Structure 1
Amino acid sequence: MKEKKIGNHVVLLIGAVLMIVPFLWMVSTSLKTYGEAMQVPPSIIPKAWNFGNYVDVFASVDFLKYYVNTIIITLGRTLAQLFLCSLAAFAFARLAFPGKNIIFIAILSVLMVPPQVILIPNYAILSQLGWIDTFYALIVPGMFSAFGVFLLRQFFMGIPKELDEAATMDGCSFFGIYWRIILPNATPALMALGIFTILASWNDFLWPLVMTNSESMRVLSVGIASFQGQYSTNYPLLMAGAVMSTIPMLIMFIFLQKHLIAGIALQGVRR
């Protein structure tokens, strides 16, 4: 048994090293000069720590604007999903109405459609609305999630219905039950959905790339990609931008990792 535990820890240690090495290499490259980053064989630790790359990022592009745009889009999508998905999940978990199961299955079927398949139709719709290169195009389509409805519905169904009945006897409306009973008892699921939505929005690349034209509407993922040249790429500059865009998600994971792991465990568990 002891040998088995040692073997498990060795496997986990190897996996951890494989995960952290690319990040450490990114940080190391961001502190090198261009010549040192391109030398063969490569050096692991920079000979002279060049923090000027981080300053050059802001001088090369409007990196602060990318940051602000990404924060606005991430907050808009996350807050909207938490509200709209929880409302829909409450309806499917607690209310009785005709065609409930059929509608729920139809919503789940969206999960089987790759986003790339509906990219062109969505672009055509948003173009006719005049939303191209605006925050509307970047936020509104991401305000609802079939996965979020499924995750919250599964959790809501695990909350005892006796709480609803007691609230109804006290004169609480359906929205009151949702707001005062369901949401306070569904904090783990809401935290999990919020974390997943933040990660997806922060790292989204294809949708902002297609829906934006001007430099003022770019987000971090698209802005960092602009550092890649056609014939040569300034890798220290690219890595410095990548490090700065990764820091907020890294901090979030450090403080909220317990909720993230709990959210992963929630998927498909509640019935």
Structure 2
Amino acid sequence: MRNLTVGRVITYAVLIIAAIAVIFPVYYVIAGSIMSPGQISSYPPDLFPHGLFTGNYQGATSTTAIGRQYLNSVLQTSVITLSQLITSVLAAYAFVFMKMWGRTVLFGLFLGTLMVPWESIVLPNYLTITGWSVGGERLTASYAGTMVALVLPFLANAFGVFLLRQSFLQFPTELRDAATIDGCGHWRFIRQILLPLNKPALMAVGLYVFLAAWNQFFWPLLIGDNASRRTLQIGISQLNDVEAADPGLILAGVTLSILPTLAIVIFGQRFIVRGLTAGAIR
């Protein structure tokens, strides 16, 4: 067992304090969501629930269309995550394994899109999408069109391409040459050889995209034309305007929102770390 020095004790103390400061807000959101209104408003505030009070969740789901908005968030996040994984894999494969003129310059221009602020293109995206029509109706005229409008600007992203390209660069060229000699085509090579050997990077991209899509607020607020066509994050903000801003309802809505992301971060953090460091060492 290592001897505890003064410096080590101080380091552990600082880390414990930092961990408490990060974990406590999450704990209190979950604990407050099952507290009664009287317990939440008590002074000094209670840190532990005295029982299991489900009225906050019942009120949150009955006062707004949060159930429908939850489904919208799940559908939107799933489509965006799957689409970005597919487009990132194909683009990264092209940049690494397919010989073409100006590949390096093209990749640099591709990465340049990461430097464009979202705020500078949100208005052109909005005017473009709402100006299109499907079956004679504008995209915001039906539920299906609204979902298209929600996901369309986020079907591809340069960050996933960059991360997967760095991972694919670690792939042995000899194995790729051997597969080509054996008659392995592009699709078969990607499906049976490349992707199984790059699972950490794929998981990292998928988790990153999922968290970013799940927590979107401004675009769903802008493009959704009514409460039932918006996402969970919008529904939580609407809870602030009902029942005289009952904190129990807000905490219940926030708990519903953070549970999926919390589970993903807890069970998938090792894939995030391994994926983000895939191209760090050669």
Q: Deviations over 1:109-166 (max 9, x none)?
A: 1111111111101101111113336111111211111000000000001101111100
User: In the alignment, which residue of structure 2 is the partner of 1:234?
Assistant: 246
For residues 98 and 117 of structure 2, what CA distance do their matches in structure 1 show?
Answer: 30
Where does structure 2 lack aligned partners over 5 or more consecutive residues? 133-137
Alignment of 1:141-180 (within 5 A): 141-180=153-192
For residues 209 and 45 of structure 1, what CA distance do their matches in structure 2 show?
Answer: 35
User: What is the identity percentage for the equivalent residue pairs of Structure 1 and Structure 2?
Assistant: 35
Which of the residues 189, 194, 216 maps onto 2:228? 216
User: In the alignment, which residue of structure 2 is the partner of 1:45?
Assistant: 48
Q: Which amino acid aligns with 2:13?
A: V
How many angstroms does 1:79 deviate by?
0.8
How many angstroms does 1:219 deviate by?
0.9
User: In the alignment, which residue of structure 2 is the partner of 1:269?
Assistant: 280
For residues 217 and 280 of structure 2, what CA distance do their matches in structure 1 show?
Answer: 31
Q: Secondary structure at the match of 2:225?
A: coil
How many angstroms does 1:39 deviate by?
4.5
For residues 87 and 192 of structure 1, what CA distance do their matches in structure 2 show?
Answer: 16
- The question of 1:27 aligning with 2:30 is answered yes
User: In the alignment, which residue of structure 1 is the partner of 2:259?
Assistant: 247
User: In the alignment, which residue of structure 1 is the partner of 2:86?
Assistant: 83
For residues 176 and 264 of structure 2, what CA distance do their matches in structure 1 show?
Answer: 34
How many angstroms does 1:46 deviate by?
4.1
For residues 238 and 85 of structure 1, what CA distance do their matches in structure 2 show?
Answer: 36
Where does structure 1 lack aligned partners over 5 or more consecutive residues? none
Q: Which amino acid aligns with 1:263?
A: G
How many angstroms does 1:203 deviate by?
0.9
Range with bigger deviation, 175-184 or 54-63 = 175-184
Aligned residues: 270
User: In the alignment, which residue of structure 2 is the partner of 1:18?
Assistant: 21
Q: Deviations over 1:217-260 (max 9, x none)?
A: 11111111111129941111000111122112222223222212
**TM-score normalised over the length of structure 1:** 0.92
Q: CA separation of 1:180/1:46 partners in 2, compared to 1, >3 Å: closer, same or farther? A: closer
For residues 56 and 243 of structure 2, what CA distance do their matches in structure 1 show?
Answer: 20
How many angstroms does 1:99 deviate by?
2.1
- The question of 1:69 aligning with 2:72 is answered yes
Are 2:60 and 2:239, in contact at CA under 8 Å, matched by a contact in 1?
no
User: In the alignment, which residue of structure 1 is the partner of 2:135?
Assistant: none
User: In the alignment, which residue of structure 2 is the partner of 1:109?
Assistant: 112
How many angstroms does 1:40 deviate by?
4.4
Range with bigger deviation, 103-112 or 39-48 = 39-48
Which of the residues 219, 222, 229 maps onto 1:207? 219
Range with bigger deviation, 216-225 or 2-11 = 2-11
User: In the alignment, which residue of structure 2 is the partner of 1:121?
Assistant: 124
Are 1:163 and 1:181, in contact at CA under 8 Å, matched by a contact in 2?
no
Q: Deviations over 1:48-86 (max 9, x none)?
A: 653211111111122221121111111101111111111
Report the RMSD for the aligned CA atoms in angstroms.
Answer: 2.0
- The question of 1:131 aligning with 2:103 is answered no
**TM-score normalised over the length of structure 2:** 0.88
For residues 229 and 64 of structure 1, what CA distance do their matches in structure 2 show?
Answer: 17
Q: Which runs of 4 or more aligned residues in structure 1 lie more than 6 Å from their structure 2 counterparts after TM superposition?
A: none
Q: Which amino acid aligns with 1:30?
A: S
For residues 37 and 117 of structure 1, what CA distance do their matches in structure 2 show?
Answer: 41
